[in-house]
Structure 1
Amino acid sequence: MRRGTRPRMGDRATSDVVVRLRTPEGRDEWLYCHSAVLAAGSKYFADRLSDAWPTCQILDSRYCVEVHCAEPDLSSHVTALRLLYADEPVSRFGVRGALALLQAAEHLGCPRIAAACADYIESAPWDEADEEEILAAAPFLAPQHGRLLARLRPIDPAPAAGIFLSAFRHATSAAAPRELKSAAQEQLEYMLTEDDDAPLLAFDDDSVKSQVKDCVTGLLNRFSDFVSSALTKQKEAPCSGGDDGEPQQELHSFISDISWVCQVLSKLEMMKYLVIYWLGASSHVVEVVEAACPGFDCLKTRLKVIEISAKVLEAAAFSNIVLPAEKRCHAVNVWIRFAGRTKALVDQADVGDGDAETPKIGLDGEVWQGLESAIVSIVLTLPSNTQAEILSEWLQSKHACFPDLTEAFDTWCYRSKVARTRLSFLNNINEAP
């Protein structure tokens, strides 16, 4: 070899060592190398080629060093050996290629190559397959490469709460672009979803819930202003209801946002605030919706209102939210009528659509069932005379098919018939001297 000329792997004329890569499957790779290059870049070869290590002289007095590796790792070991001869320790092999090379470099004790691979992997974008490969390899990597997992580690509570609140403000803001608002709503819902993994956040901090409540208050206040303005315009020009598409779109936007907030508050166990607001505003909400969506127009908006009302009434019926009888009575009266009209419109739309390939407009059956169960439960909490008034109106309605109050009717009949007997002790108390 001429002075100043860099040796090349595979040059049999100048090589003084053969590296034999062997796999359990019996595959061999013979590489003609140079002991000085190997020892300088690899601790493994430095040890094997030292005077203290017994060697086997074969092939015209050249040293032979065996390296055992798994079949899938053979090519990355070859690459690691080639890079010992390169000016730059590593080229860009893609994340998974660099990861395989990193593992080979660690096996051969090549710190320069391993560090270059780790630097590249740490700075490169990953897809999901890359992440799975990195997680699988992580337990076998040297401790100094733990930084590769930095972007995959669980986030600390403080920044997690910060990003949640920032996203929640966008999700409930009137000024946020629709794309940003939709993305924020989607990701926040995912963060709170209980699936195979635990929810991303645990809301033990009252200050976080307080800020969530402030955002919801702002949304509901804007909605109240919209409802008041719409009702005022309706009184001034009653014949124009439903003709202008802009109020319909604004109404649908508000209802969609409140529907999403309803889901989030349910997961945060903060439904009480929305229940009190929604039941108090029920009459005005229904009046605005009926004016803006008189028939089949904006049926999706009506169904969103049904979704909200179902969750609100379920919370009122089955949770620890205590409401006066007058509010419970008013709420079920309003939503029995609206639910009956909306269900009839949905059934008519499904029957009238002759195209079997067109998706039908409707809700999951569990929503209707949940609404019906909540209404029945609330009706049965009311005084018997109030129940009689509600049931009488329901029986006379042309929409008596939904909600089905038969269970409430049966219970009312039984209670009414046995009332005198069951409460006879009251007569004895009244007749006592």
Structure 2
Amino acid sequence: MMHHNTNNPIPKKRQRINSSTRLSSLSSAASDSSVQFLSLPISGGFNDSSTADVLLRLFHDSDSLSSISETSNSSSSKDGDIQIYLHSSALCKAKYFSALLSDRWGRNKDDFEMKMKKKVHKLNLALSPKPGSINAHLMVLRLIYCDDLSCAVNSVESAILMLPVAMKLIFDDLVKQCVRFLEAVPWSEEEEDEILNLVPFLFEEESKELLARVSTSRVDSCEKMLDNLLISAKQNHPNLVPVKAFVARLLREFSSRDSSRRVLEKAFSMSLKVVKESMEEYSSPDFRGDHNETEAIQRLNLHNALTNGKHLLWLVERMVELRVAEMAVKEWSEQDSFAADLQRAFRDDAWRNIVPGLPTVVLKCTSKLANAVASGNIIVAREVRMKLVKDWLPVLIVCKDNASPVLPCHKPALHSATSLYLELEETFLRIISTLPMDDAQELLQQCLSFSARGSEDCPHLITAFNTWFRRATRRNPATNIS
């Protein structure tokens, strides 16, 4: 590091730069007026030709993006070049200039002072062709004269523009101030990309806080976040509709389909387990009776089944929407004991006044999954399709046979339930049409109750049977091969 000349005419206390707000506003401008403003001299400091001992030429050179050299025969600037008068004592705040000046002038103090008196040394600094490069260099060179950099950076734009220059010139104080500012303020997505492009050029300690904003040590952090959001949407909000709509949007827009699948499958299994256990306890002979304690437990079981059933339905809708419902379909097709508990429960009258909406919730779950299978949205094996209809067709029949008596105020609900029954009937028949003839025959016979409204009101059932008979009477294509 070179020694400062005590006889140097440069004042010890230079004019403080306090126009950082305007500097920031001009940071990326390319107009002549912005360059003129940034080039304005400061008495006894930046660009003051009367006291300077260094003349720095800034020029664009695409072949030499970061070169710096001394010249003694460049007295005038070319078109587009800028010449700035500077002071070696200030430039030494930037280690790049400090090393350059020390190597050029030697380490002998007397020799240094002698050369200082003889001439103004001329340096060339090549700039990248990136827009705003000259402005960025002028801003950094002005700040070399600033004794207090705490207010020098006040926008993400100016910090991003100045940081590469400060790193190139090894102006450590400004590098720290830019990094400190960027770490403390919000970024746009575009700004974040620019900042991350600069991170590899920073020391590890300097970049640590910036990287902490965009990286995590947990490999499963996204799934953990989604897990917590699903739990929160289920339990922690009195008005669940907007919360669930928000979480559903996040799931749709989340980029990792596999992560969404794993999170939704886990939540589906947990909710299904609670509903199954609640209905199992409700249907258990140990809880049959009329005393008050048993009735309270039964109410709790039914309410628990309904609450978790609604959340289960929401999860099914998300899984179908994202086309990740394969596991849900398979698991739903393996619920013969659960389906049996539901049939026993729905044959009683106790649930009607406690959870009248429970059958609808259960059948909607079945309908969503069955529709996904029938439409080809979810592709599953023949055995799964067979079991799905075989286990849940009896539940549909029981729900239809044990519908609540209709009161005038309940007519809209009855119409909704009837539409659901009809939709599920048609979906089951479509799935049956995909099964082998022997399996289809077995299941179609259980669908005769669909005709309870009369043959004119069940064209879907007529079509299903006609299709089966047409196939049954068709000559086996294999026998036509000679």
1:409 Cα deviation from its structure 2 partner: 2.9
CA distance in 2, matches of 1:166, 1:196: 18
1:94 Cα deviation from its structure 2 partner: 2.0
Which of 387, 396, 399 is the equivalent residue of 2:444? Answer: 387
1:386 Cα deviation from its structure 2 partner: 4.4
CA distance in 2, matches of 1:399, 1:93: 78
CA distance in 2, matches of 1:154, 1:163: 12
Which of 275, 280, 290 is the equivalent residue of 1:220? Answer: 275
Which of 118, 137, 146 is the equivalent residue of 1:86? Answer: 146
In 2, are the aligned partners of 1:336 and 1:403 still within 8 Å (CA)? no
CA distance in 2, matches of 1:285, 1:186: 35
5+ long unaligned stretches in structure 2: 1-8, 15-43, 63-78, 107-114, 284-302, 404-411, 478-482
Which of 9, 12, 16 is the equivalent residue of 2:53? Answer: 16
CA distance in 2, matches of 1:23, 1:9: 21
In structure 2, relative to structure 1, the CA distance for the partners of 1:184 and 1:384 (3 Å cut) is closer
Q: Which residue of 1 aligns with 2:314?
A: 260
1:250 Cα deviation from its structure 2 partner: 11
In 2, are the aligned partners of 1:380 and 1:387 still within 8 Å (CA)? no
In structure 2, relative to structure 1, the CA distance for the partners of 1:181 and 1:98 (3 Å cut) is farther
1:5 Cα deviation from its structure 2 partner: 3.1
Q: Cα deviation per residue 1:20-57 (whole Å; 9 max; x = unaligned)?
A: 3223695333322111110232414641574269xxx9
Q: Does 1:310 align with 2:377?
A: no
| Residues 31-50 of structure 1: pairs in structure 2 closer than 5 A | 31-44=84-97, 46-47=99-100, 50=103
1:134 Cα deviation from its structure 2 partner: 2.0
DSSP 3-state at the match of 1:115: helix
Which of 122, 129, 132 is the equivalent residue of 2:183? Answer: 122
1:105 Cα deviation from its structure 2 partner: 0.7
CA distance in 2, matches of 1:153, 1:252: 40
Q: Does 1:417 align with 2:473?
A: yes
CA distance in 2, matches of 1:368, 1:142: 65
1:256 Cα deviation from its structure 2 partner: 4.6
The one-letter code matched in structure 2 to 1:75 is: N
Q: Does 1:150 align with 2:212?
A: yes
CA distance in 2, matches of 1:157, 1:166: 16
1:321 Cα deviation from its structure 2 partner: 8.8
In structure 2, relative to structure 1, the CA distance for the partners of 1:130 and 1:219 (3 Å cut) is farther
Q: Which residue of 2 aligns with 1:113?
A: 174
DSSP 3-state at the match of 1:89: coil
CA distance in 1, matches of 2:214, 2:455: 55
CA distance in 2, matches of 1:282, 1:403: 28
1:303 Cα deviation from its structure 2 partner: 9.5
Q: Which residue of 1 aligns with 2:75?
A: none
CA distance in 1, matches of 2:344, 2:435: 21
Q: Which residue of 2 aligns with 1:242?
A: none
TM-score by length of 2: 0.56
In structure 2, relative to structure 1, the CA distance for the partners of 1:98 and 1:136 (3 Å cut) is same
CA distance in 2, matches of 1:216, 1:101: 54
CA distance in 2, matches of 1:153, 1:414: 62
Question: Taking CA–CA contacts closer than 8 Å with sequence separation of 6 or more, which of the two structures ends up with the larger relative contact order?
Answer: 2
5+ long unaligned stretches in structure 1: 229-248, 293-297, 350-361, 423-433
Q: Cα deviation per residue 1:91-123 (whole Å; 9 max; x = unaligned)?
A: 333223212211111122212211221122123
The one-letter code matched in structure 2 to 1:64 is: K
CA distance in 2, matches of 1:282, 1:318: 27
The one-letter code matched in structure 2 to 1:257 is: H
DSSP 3-state at the match of 2:124: strand
Q: Which residue of 2 aligns with 1:29?
A: 82
CA distance in 2, matches of 1:286, 1:127: 55
The one-letter code matched in structure 2 to 1:114 is: V
Q: Cα deviation per residue 1:303-327 (whole Å; 9 max; x = unaligned)?
A: 9964652215656995359579798
In 2, are the aligned partners of 1:18 and 1:33 still within 8 Å (CA)? yes
CA distance in 1, matches of 2:131, 2:450: 76
1:396 Cα deviation from its structure 2 partner: 6.4
In structure 2, relative to structure 1, the CA distance for the partners of 1:382 and 1:267 (3 Å cut) is same
1:418 Cα deviation from its structure 2 partner: 6.1
In 2, are the aligned partners of 1:332 and 1:378 still within 8 Å (CA)? no
Q: Does 1:75 align with 2:135?
A: yes
**Greater Rg, structure 1 or structure 2?**
2
The one-letter code matched in structure 1 to 2:444 is: Q
The one-letter code matched in structure 1 to 2:89 is: A
Which of 78, 92, 95 is the equivalent residue of 2:156? Answer: 95
1:157 Cα deviation from its structure 2 partner: 2.6
DSSP 3-state at the match of 2:51: coil
In structure 2, relative to structure 1, the CA distance for the partners of 1:105 and 1:273 (3 Å cut) is same
In 2, are the aligned partners of 1:16 and 1:63 still within 8 Å (CA)? yes
TM-score by length of 1: 0.61
Q: Which residue of 1 aligns with 2:104?
A: 51
% identical equivalent positions? 17
Q: Does 1:131 align with 2:192?
A: yes
| Residues 278-357 of structure 1: pairs in structure 2 closer than 5 A | 279=339, 306=364, 309-312=367-370, 314=372, 319=380, 328-329=389-390, 331-332=392-393, 335=396
RMSD, aligned CA: 5.8
The one-letter code matched in structure 1 to 2:193 is: E
DSSP 3-state at the match of 1:18: strand
